[in-house]
Amino acid sequence: MVLVIATAGLIYELVIAAVASYLLGDSVFQFSTIIGVYLSALGLGAYLSGFVERKLALRFIDIELGAALVGGFSAPVLFVAFAHVSSFRVLLYGTVVLVGTLVGLELPLLMRLLSRQVSLKDLVAKSLTFDYAGALLGSLAFSLVLVPMVGLVQTSLFCGLLNAFTGLVSTWLLSNADDDSAEHFGGARIRAVVVIALLLVGLLQGNRFTELSEAAVYDGRVIHAAHSRYQRIVIVDNKGDLRLFLNGNLQFSSRDEHRYHEALVHPAMAAATKRGRIAIGGGGDGLAVREVFKWPDVQSVTLIDLDPAMTDLGRDNPRIRGLNRDALRDPRVTVVNSDAMTWFRESDDTFDVVILDFPDPSNFSLGKLYSRRFYASVRRRLGPGGALVVQSTSPMFARKAFWSVVATIRAAGFHVAPYHVFVPAFGEWGYVLATLDEAPAVGDLPARGLAYLDAATLADAFKFPRDMQQVAVTVNRLNNQALVSYYLDAWSRWD
């Protein structure tokens, strides 16, 4: 019993933190504050348990059912409320406090009930052992099984069922543990069955909760929504404009993605002396690969993207395939689903062009892919005469973050040439072109196949107006992650 309630309690904490991270961004802040508040609420629950004097078994069962309802419905309620409640953070942290308090009440009451049958020494040892084991089980199940397979909403509802069934079973297991509660177990069983029924209905309608929240958040019709092990992937059709969102952040709009991807790919391809072997970090949608194949001398492309759900989408989804022109089905493409930092460090391959198309550095796990150490690993994979390009967020909206990327690439031993273009869906967007031996010099662009970029447009891209020019910044290193702070501070002022 202790194992079950500890597992469910830990998963509630992780679910709420993950929902907050998905809806509000800044995952480090969300996880740290929610975990801190949750642990404090556990202490509050433990303290309040001392005021429960009578009917301990019945109180324990009702607390289990309360945790089942509040914790079980926490994710669906938060998802739906985000689009409709102005004071969302009050609801968020109120939910954390309520769930934490209920979970904090459970173990002290159960230990008091069992103390009548088990010696104190054995009771404390066994209870804490199963409590800590449940925390480990919950953390592993959450990240490896529940979220990848069923999603956040169903995960919280499933854990609610664990608590509710524990409450129901306790009406028999604790029937002899507390004489004061014996006459009330019939009513408790009815309440438990009602809670189980509500959670089962919620579980069956779990996808509907997410659809309601996303229909309110996104403009257009949601045509694909899925939780992978790493992120929430949503595709929206807004009157023919196909938009991809990862964890709520726009990745492309089909109306103007050609601007972004042409500017990302072709300056580096034109700057390299050879273009036979290409590596692309990120870009699981295949749109950068599409642009690469506009160069006839490309022999192979290695696409390194952490999330197989994203590369599967780029290869199999009809709408995405139409955009990338079946680029990921080309026999020259090798897809590697791996952490890019590990792969570039351990790989022995060399490339003529490396294109890094990672999401913006909004958290530390992404920020490492913009660090000096990572760029040093990429440098070792770049062949003679090779070129590197990095998408580098907006020099307009996140000026310090952009120039920190520039400074970091330079600190890794590259010659750099920053540039920017206007992408309507994003505004002014920045890139960094880098080479090893001398300052980057861009050659001729492809004669055909480009809808936006030409020689004159590209020449202007390397010129920065006064409000986007270089500012003093810190190099992004793994031990400081200065870039993440620059990025979050800048975008918080624009959102």
| DSSP strand pairing (415-423 vs 427-435) | antiparallel
Whether the CB-CB separation of 220 and 238 falls below 8 Å is answered with: yes
Select which of 357, 454, 467, 495 is catalytic: 357
Can 219 be counted among the known catalytic residues?
Answer: no
SS3 58: helix
One-letter amino acid for residue 92 of the chain: L
Strand (E) or helix (H) holding 83: none
Candidates 20, 313, 211; CA nearest to 28 is 20
User: Dmax of the chain from CA atoms?
Assistant: 88
Measure the CA–CA gap between 254 and 257, rounded to whole angstroms.
5
Residue with tokens 């869906």: 425
Alpha helices in 73-205 (DSSP H): 74-82, 88-114, 120-141, 147-173, 185-204
Nearest Cα to Cα of residue 391 among 363, 366, 365, 424: 366
3-state helix, strand, coil in the chain (%, to 5): 60, 15, 25
- Where residue 481 falls (left for φ over 0; alpha for ψ -120 to 50; beta otherwise) is left
* Cα–Cα distance for residue pair 63/309, rounded to 1 Å: 39
Are 431 and 391 in contact, with CB atoms under 8 Å apart? yes
Task: Please name the residue that has the structure tokens 């590990």.
Answer: 342
Strands 221-227 and 232-238: antiparallel
Count of CB atoms situated within 10 Å of the CB of 405: 31
Six-digit token pair at 193?
Answer: 């069955």
Residues 6+ apart with CB under 8 A from 341: 368, 369, 374, 377
Q: Please identify every residue annotated as catalytic.
A: 357
